[in-house]
Amino acid sequence: MLPDYSRGVDETLRLGFTSLESELDGVELEVRGAVPPEVRGTLYRIGPARLGAYGERYRHWFCGDGMVHAFTFEGGRVRYRNRFVQTRGKLEEDAARRRIHATFGTQASGNALARLKYRFKHHGAKNGANTHVVRHAGRLLALWEGGRPYRIDPETLETLGEEDFGGVLGAKDTFSAHPRIDSATGELWNFGIEHGGRPRLNIYRLGADGVLEKRAKVDLPYAAMIHDCALTPARLVVALSPYTLPTIPVLLMLGQVSYGQQLRWRPQLGLNIMTFDRRTGEVRWFRTDPLLTIHLSHAFDDGADVVLDACAYPDADIMQTFVEIMAGELRTQSRSWMERLRLRADGRVTRERLSPTTLEFPRVEVDVVARPNKLFGVSWGERSPFASVPAAIDTQTGAAQLAPEVAGDWAGECVPVPRGPGAEPWVLTLVLNTAERRSELRVLDGADLKAPPAAVIPLPHVVPMGFHGSWVV
Ligand SMILES: [Fe+2]
């Protein structure tokens, strides 16, 4: 039996962090309002949906088994399908009907000896396949930063297996959950961390033809958790926050703690940012005062400078928040703001806060842009435990517009849907509606988030709070 998290706990947190096991197969959803004609295609969304295994609840939001949700818009109607990603680890646990694996933030089951044995048998943690779902060169990929992608059938959402790109990705290679697609060239760029005695970063280029190449291996100054990257027409940008494993992570090596439990905030290391020249392979490093950047929004070249806009937390307290929301006991409050970091040609870094409005899950309309005018995301509201209110920030002025805050509504990432040249996009967000005890997809007007949604599409269940998604036409 799972512990009872309902007593004395905010109902939004309880609903949003309860496992969803049911899978629906192409059901038509009710549409309240009208779907705009430009919204034709499929929104794929992903997040952890099984938040424990066989009676043992996970500690951390990032641990659960991933589930893909597909909302297909056609002629103003919406079809919905959801499926677990059937990872090797999940299938093993389903066959054994018990928890077997360690996950991002939860150590393996059992006593110290059992955890030690697990470590020597399995080495790493279970691939959660729960962080992002991306379509590229005909492949739909469910991504998790500590392992290889899982390939998904875009129509049925059936799991087709682990993707190694024709043998280029080895069994222990990792492929981050935040690749960036250059819409001008059709290339996808990504990175993967190699931990171990000598932490390194593999840099990947996946051509428009779907062929993957390892472009470089770069030594890292320390074994940081790196979640995201940014891409300009000339460079890939990666930021290393000082949130790191110890030089020798003894407890992790002995299986006594999970990767996430072994990470520590070491502000004395500063924030180190790497730029990688896509053409020449030249690597440059920049250093500035410490920040925790989980999500980068985008970057652009500005003469010889590179400008990076990132969601920045003052420290790593937010990682504790992700443990607390799983336990239904939110105590640690931490917020992030958009920080503009100018990586100057002379090696110096200058910084400014783009807006006084908090933001998480930043999205711009296209993947590579010279200078996006607007970011979409979710902001911390007056009464919200986490970033949960749709927001747009003007990158020129810092002015922000927020959707009206409704107690008990928790909106996830805002995915822009292009409306046409010169027009603001539509914005799709999956919202936990606590009052109605279900999730609903909302279609918002990117030009006016304060307006009532153009359409509200209720789901027959609550989708556990998830992470990222892609709009695919
Ligand atoms: Fe992310």
Ligand 1 center to 295 CA (angstroms)? 6
The DSSP H or E segment spanning 189 is strand 188-194
Tokens of 335: 């917020």
Ligand 1 center to 71 CA (angstroms)? 20
Ligand 1 center to 470 CA (angstroms)? 12
Ligand 1 center to 294 CA (angstroms)? 7
Ligand 1 center to 176 CA (angstroms)? 9
Distance CA 412, CA 267 (A): 29
Residue 381: per-residue pLDDT: 85
Ligand 1 center to 248 CA (angstroms)? 27
- 342-353 pLDDT tens trace: 999 999 999 999
Ligand 1 center to 7 CA (angstroms)? 30
Region of 250 (left: φ > 0; alpha: ψ -120 to 50; beta: rest) is alpha
Distance CA 251, CA 112 (A): 11
CB of 375 within 8 A of CB of 393?
yes
Task: Mention every residue, 6+ apart, whose C-beta is less than 8 A from residue 253.
Answer: 119
Residue 368: per-residue pLDDT: 62
Ligand 1 center to 359 CA (angstroms)? 13
Region of 157 (left: φ > 0; alpha: ψ -120 to 50; beta: rest) is left
Ligand 1 center to 386 CA (angstroms)? 15
Ligand 1 center to 33 CA (angstroms)? 31
User: Measuring CA to CA, which residue among 254, 277, 281, 251 is closest to residue 264?
Assistant: 251
Residue 369: per-residue pLDDT: 66
Written as tens digits, the pLDDT of the chain (473 aa) is 333 333 334 888 999 999 999 999 999 999 999 999 999 999 999 999 999 999 999 999 999 999 999 999 999 999 999 999 999 999 999 999 999 999 999 999 999 999 999 988 887 899 999 999 999 999 999 999 999 999 999 999 999 999 999 999 999 999 999 999 998 999 999 999 998 789 999 999 999 999 999 999 999 999 999 999 999 999 999 999 999 998 889 999 989 999 999 999 999 999 999 999 999 999 999 999 999 999 999 999 999 999 999 999 999 999 999 999 999 888 888 999 999 999 999 999 999 999 999 999 999 977 666 678 899 999 998 777 689 999 999 999 999 999 999 988 999 999 999 998 889 999 999 999 999 999 999 999 999 999 999 999 999 999 999 999 999 99
Tokens of 437: 């005890």
Longest dimension (CA), the chain: 62
Residue 338: per-residue pLDDT: 97
Distance CA 443, CA 36 (A): 8
Q: Classify residue 344 as exposed, middle or buried by CB count within 10 Å of its CB (0-12, 13-18, 19+).
A: middle
Ligand 1 center to 285 CA (angstroms)? 23
Ligand 1 center to 469 CA (angstroms)? 10
User: Measuring CA to CA, which residue among 39, 101, 5, 13 is closest to residue 417?
Assistant: 39
pTM of the model as a whole: 0.95
Q: Is beta strand 400-402 parallel, antiparallel or unpaired with respect to 389-394? A: antiparallel
Ligand 1 center to 228 CA (angstroms)? 7
Mapping DSSP to helix (H, G, I), strand (E, B) and coil, where does residue 32 land? Answer: strand
Ligand 1 center to 449 CA (angstroms)? 23
Distance CA 146, CA 198 (A): 17
Residue 7: per-residue pLDDT: 38
Ligand 1 center to 61 CA (angstroms)? 12
Ligand 1 center to 171 CA (angstroms)? 23
Ligand 1 center to 191 CA (angstroms)? 14
Residue 367: per-residue pLDDT: 62
